[in-house]
Each structure stands twice: as C-alpha cells, then as structure tokens.
Amino acid sequence: MSFKQSQVVKKQGQIEMPRRIAVVFPGQGSQAVGMLNELAEVYPIVEQTFNEASEALGFDLWAICQDEVELAKTEYTQPALLTASIAVWRILQEATDIEPIYLAGHSLGEYSALCAAGAICLADAVKLVHARGQLMQQAVDGIATKMAAVLGLDNNQVISICEQIESNNDDAIVSPANFNSPGQVVVAGNLRGMEILSQQIQCTGKRMVPLKVSVPSHTALMQPASEALAEKLAECEFQSPNIPVIQNRDASEEKTIIAIKKALAEQLSHPVLWTQTMQKLADKHINLIIECGAGTVLSNLAKRQETPITAYATDKPERLTKLFEKLNEE
C-alpha cells in the first residue's frame, strides 16, 4: 500500500501552501494497556518491531504492554512507548512517502525521534531508555513525590508561585517540569512542595490535575539521574540524525553528537519546552503534524498552541486511515 502526499495544501484562501510536515513522538503518560493491539492485527511490522526490542532487552516487552502493573513502572513504560513509536514510524515509512522537515519528541519521545532519525539504533535506544527509567526511579527512592498539571495559569505565573514556595519553605521542592501549551504547565516536586502548591492553586480559582507518573521528571530531583545518564550516553554509539530533531532542553536543533547527548542528559533535570518547540515548528511554516506512537496527547496539544497546527494521531487503524486520506488529498 502506498499513499502519495500532495505537494500543496489549499487551506489559506486562494494561496497554495506547500505541505510541510513534522512528526512528533509522545512521552510518558501516553501509554495504555494493549496499546497498538489493533494496529498489530493489520501491520506485521508492529510485532516484528516489538520482537526486535524484546530481544535487545532480554524480556517480553509486548507482554508488558498487556500488564497494567508492569507497564506503569517507568523502567518498562519508557522502552514500551519508544518501541510503539518506532513501530508506527515503520508503518509510515512502508505506507507513505512522507519526508518530514522536522522531528521532535516530548521527554522520552525525544529518544524515539532520534531513533527514527537514524541517530541511534532501536536496540541501543530501548536499552538506553530502560536504564534511564531505572536511574530516574533510583534518584527518588525513599522520597514521596508527585506530578500534576496546572491549568489556567501562564508560564510566568506558575514559575513565580513555585519559586515563592521554595523560597518560603526550606523543606519544599517544586518546579515546572513541562511547558506543554498556553495555560497548561506540568509541575513536579516532593510531597511537601506539591501540597503547598495545590493549596495556592486553589486560592487562584484554577485547577491542578494529578498525573499518573511515578517519578518527578525534569526537576532538580532528577540531577543524580541526569549525571548517571550522561555516563550511559557517553558509552552509547550515536550518528548524526538524517532528519533534524528539535530537542527539549532549549527547543533547538543540536548539530553535533556531543551536543545531542548533552541535551539528552540535561533534559532530565530541566523542564520540557514543548510550547516553545511547537511555536518553532509554526515559525518554520509546518502545517501538518503527525503524532507517531501511542495516544493523542501531542495531537491535542498541537491544537492548543498560540499558532495551532493540524495534527493527526496514528495509534489505531481508523486514525491512520484518516491520515492517509489527508496525505492523498490533491
């Protein structure tokens, strides 16, 4: 099956705009028990990709995807999501002739993007993120932590509240972890910091929604994991990406392997700049985003940016069909 993409998008009055595609890869929180089961029934490459990853890891990753308890463990969540993304990427490579201008990934998804771009092979990538998950969990063993999404406040307001909490409470740790879209900032910290934050958010009349994530990613609590991950990255063979990848650390495309690895390590203890990443894609005139992997988190976020971009999810056959129909438009 082959779907040829049209060279123009007739969406802005009488102006014919060239189709400019970016592919984005989801991070933790997008996992679901049985993810990609329906696609696996249609596309053999899904099972083949999971078998390849399982062989590299030494355990059955597909079986873990059917087990709610195991899938929730970050050391398994991460390789499972990465493998799901690469399986869908391979479907797209087989079924379409898309040539993305940029790739990007949210947190863990950055590794999926680099794998899709040929910077790291699947076997090394799943082993690396499996270790990443273990290091992240070890960094906060014995520490009660939480992550939550703050809805309805802008970035600077959330930053200011977190800074005030830490300044006024020696035992509180809390900071932004993900700048996802205007009005949605994920925060993380220890239990004390998050409890104070919850009280203050209630006073503003806005909402804070707890997230099902087992570690406080992208905060200072991850500094030990960041340092240990840097050592793992130094040992791992990378190539220059064959498609530009916008990384989370500075919402920028790193040009050298050293810089790519540095950004990956630092990403763990610094917030994900997803809003800035999406704006960069908009500034580069991207007019179609494909979310490659499990769930619809990034597709939904694409619609909530200051410059919304049409986005398609790919984790179910019917969603892929909609994407293929779009790519076939004349």
User: What is the domain-level CATH number for residue 199?
Assistant: 3.30.70.250
Beta-carbon-side half-sphere exposure of residue 211 (alpha carbons within 13 Å): 26
The model's pLDDT over 199-217, given as tens digits with 9 standing for 90+, comes to 999 999 999 999 877 789 9
> Between β-strands 174-181 and 184-190, what pairing exists: parallel, antiparallel or unpaired?
antiparallel
The confidence band for 238, taking pLDDT boundaries of 50, 70 and 90, is: very high
As a whole number of angstroms, the distance between CA 177 and CA 162 comes to 11
Same-domain status, 272 and 171: no
C-beta separation of 62 from 76 below 8 A: no
Q: Is the pLDDT of residue 10 over 80?
A: no
The DSSP code sequence of 239-254 is ---SS-EEETTTTEE-
Determine the pLDDT at residue 329: 81
What is the count of structural domains for the chain?
2
Can you read off the two tokens belonging to residue 90?
A: 């391979």
Lowest mean pLDDT among 214-223, 227-236, 240-249, 267-276: 214-223
The model's pLDDT over 184-204, given as tens digits with 9 standing for 90+, comes to 999 999 999 999 999 999 999
Domain end, chosen from 192, 210, 228, is at: 210
Region class of 6: left (phi > 0), else alpha (psi between -120 and 50), else beta: beta
Determine the pLDDT at residue 18: 80
User: What is the domain-level CATH number for residue 126?
Assistant: 3.40.366.10
Q: Which residues are catalytic?
A: 107, 218
pTM of this structure: 0.93
pLDDT averaged over every residue in the chain: 93
Same-domain status, 123 and 151: no
As a whole number of angstroms, the distance between CA 156 and CA 185 comes to 10
